[in-house]
Structure 1
Amino acid sequence: MPKIKSQKFGHSHQKNNKDASSGSSVTRTFAPLFNKNLGQHILKNPLVSQSIVEKAGLKNTDTVLEVGPGTGNLTMRILETAKKVVAVEMDPRLAAELIKRVLGKPEQKRLNIMVGDVIKTELPYFDVCISNTPYQISSPLIFKLLEHRPLFRCAILMFQREFALRLVAKPGDSLYCRLSVNVQLFAKVYHIMKVGKNNFKPPPQVESSVVRIEPLNPPPTVSAKEFDGMIRILFSRKNKTLAANFKNKSVLDILENNYKTYCSTNEIMIDKDFDIKQVVHNVLDSTGFLESRAAKMDVDDFLKLLYTFNQANIHFC
């Protein structure tokens, strides 16, 4: 897995203005150019930046990971409190602007700028993550953070409003979905503030929200991949009963194949009268979830169901 490069101060990145302005995905609102394909919307309201930093509860001993610092409006606020900031910026032009902003100042020694794709590299140690997140990496970033070890204390992340509301949705909410369950399995998530589109330059087409994510410590001892494998089935039709979702022949074929593979690997004899449909029915019946609907079940319900399936040697990956 490639590592992103740390940018040394004093090295600027320049791009031919003619080439940059010729593409339809780039808009000049003020220097430097902003690339719409990278989801670049710079937070310009200092009151919002200050509020985000306050919600993070930073300590003067904290190392902060900032994803997508842009020109550094939020970065400078973080540096007022944190011991160190590691800023990961995809666009070398914006990274160069941030370098200029701290060059020769005390903050320079406490800021490490890394140029590259945050999703494609191992993250350094950090206590808190703060991000005005490019919308196209919202989901990958969350799960990358939750997989990071050692665990961080919290993450204050800005997302598109609807995405943020999915993260905090509860059973029965219209936006409650597979994303809600998978994130809430490993973390507590809180909606902490709304941010209007006019607080950015250039303004995005959608409203934003800021959430606070606190990973559970210790994390649950469950395979995220297997848990998601089950959740994927249940939320394919979240308002149907679990019994109805598990009647799908392709689902039953996959589970039967997984069952036989598991038994073979663990030298478990398979009964001659084995019937995957009946085994699944027995699991749903014994847990009391036969007529339940995924849209109304919580994380504990799903964990109970997965545990019972595993006890019957049925796995989802």
Structure 2
Amino acid sequence: MRLVAQPGDTLYCRLSVNTQLLAHVNHLLKVGKNNFRPPPKVDSSVVRMEPRKPLLSRNGMALQLTTPEGGDDTEMALCVSALGDSRGSMDSTTDEGGGDDEDKEIEDGDDATKSDLKERERVLGVLKLGGFEDERSSKLTHQPHFMHMLALFNEAGIHFC
């Protein structure tokens, strides 16, 4: 059922987003666990998956959901990892120590931390530009919002695959 889940549904997850980006998915019938011997612990379903034609593309390049090194789909992971959080709240951090430790690290000349902060500001800028800062990932529809967000990140020079 996760394959056919829509935004706002409790079963909506990264699998739903990735599957629906690449294929039209229809739930055909539910198969009860009593139809198997020995019965599994979960119910099964029969679904029909029809690949999208043409494959969704952006700027003439086919959409790739995995990194060349075989890593997982980082943008979808970023967006769907905390479905109940707004995009802006996921990217803001709270430091129980008052934030002084992070400031001290930057003042000490830690280039990696400065680079991370610049990258965070860059990502937040793209999210603000697209109006996604206050959006919750679970409410984004699979095609229009994620493709628009992907296009904005690509225009800003941020590539996820």
- Identify which of 125, 132, 146 aligns with 1:289: 132
- Cα distance, 1:203 vs. partner? 2.2
Which residue identity lines up with residue 288 of structure 1 in the other structure? G
- 2:26 paired with 1:185: no
C-alpha distance in structure 2 between counterparts of 1:207 and 1:241, whole Å? 32
RMSD: 2.4
Q: How does 1:23-102 map to 2 (within 5 A)?
A: none
C-alpha distance in structure 1 between counterparts of 2:43 and 2:122, whole Å? 47
Structure of larger gyration radius = 1
C-alpha distance in structure 1 between counterparts of 2:141 and 2:29, whole Å? 25
Q: Secondary structure at the match of 2:81?
A: helix
- 2:64 paired with 1:223: yes
Higher relative contact order (CA 8 A, sep 6+): 2
- Structure 1 residues not aligned, in runs of 5+: 1-164, 258-273
- Identify which of 69, 77, 84 aligns with 1:239: 84
Which residue identity lines up with residue 134 of structure 2 in the other structure? E
C-alpha distance in structure 2 between counterparts of 1:275 and 1:201, whole Å? 57
Residue by residue over 1:32-88, the C-alpha shift from the partner in whole angstroms, topping out at 9 and shown as x without a partner, is xxxxxxxxxxxxxxxxxxxxxxxxxxxxxxxxxxxxxxxxxxxxxxxxxxxxxxxxx
Which residue pairs with 1:210 in the alignment?
Answer: 46
Residue by residue over 1:111-134, the C-alpha shift from the partner in whole angstroms, topping out at 9 and shown as x without a partner, is xxxxxxxxxxxxxxxxxxxxxxxx
- Cα distance, 1:298 vs. partner? 1.2
TM-score, reference length from structure 1? 0.39
C-alpha distance in structure 2 between counterparts of 1:191 and 1:230, whole Å? 26
- 2:146 paired with 1:309: no
Residue by residue over 1:173-194, the C-alpha shift from the partner in whole angstroms, topping out at 9 and shown as x without a partner, is 0110001001101001111101
Q: How does 1:244-263 map to 2 (within 5 A)?
A: 244-247=89-92
Which residue identity lines up with residue 220 of structure 1 in the other structure? L
Which residue identity lines up with residue 33 of structure 2 in the other structure? K
- Structure 2 residues not aligned, in runs of 5+: 58-62, 95-111
Residue by residue over 1:128-176, the C-alpha shift from the partner in whole angstroms, topping out at 9 and shown as x without a partner, is xxxxxxxxxxxxxxxxxxxxxxxxxxxxxxxxxxxxx111000000110
Residue by residue over 1:74-116, the C-alpha shift from the partner in whole angstroms, topping out at 9 and shown as x without a partner, is xxxxxxxxxxxxxxxxxxxxxxxxxxxxxxxxxxxxxxxxxxx
Size of the alignment, in residue pairs?
Answer: 133
Deviates more, 1:302-311 or 1:221-230: 221-230
**Alpha carbons of 1:248 and 1:288: their partners in 2 closer, same or farther (altered >3 Å)?**
same
- Cα distance, 1:233 vs. partner? 1.2
Which residue identity lines up with residue 64 of structure 2 in the other structure? S
Over the matched positions of the two proteins, sequence identity in percent amounts to 43
Q: Secondary structure at the match of 1:192?
A: strand
Runs of 4+ residues over 3 Å off in structure 1: none
**Alpha carbons of 1:212 and 1:166: their partners in 2 closer, same or farther (altered >3 Å)?**
same
Aligned residues of 1:234 and 1:245 also touching (Cα < 8 A): no
C-alpha distance in structure 2 between counterparts of 1:190 and 1:209, whole Å? 11
Q: How does 1:4-23 map to 2 (within 5 A)?
A: none
- Cα distance, 1:248 vs. partner? 5.5
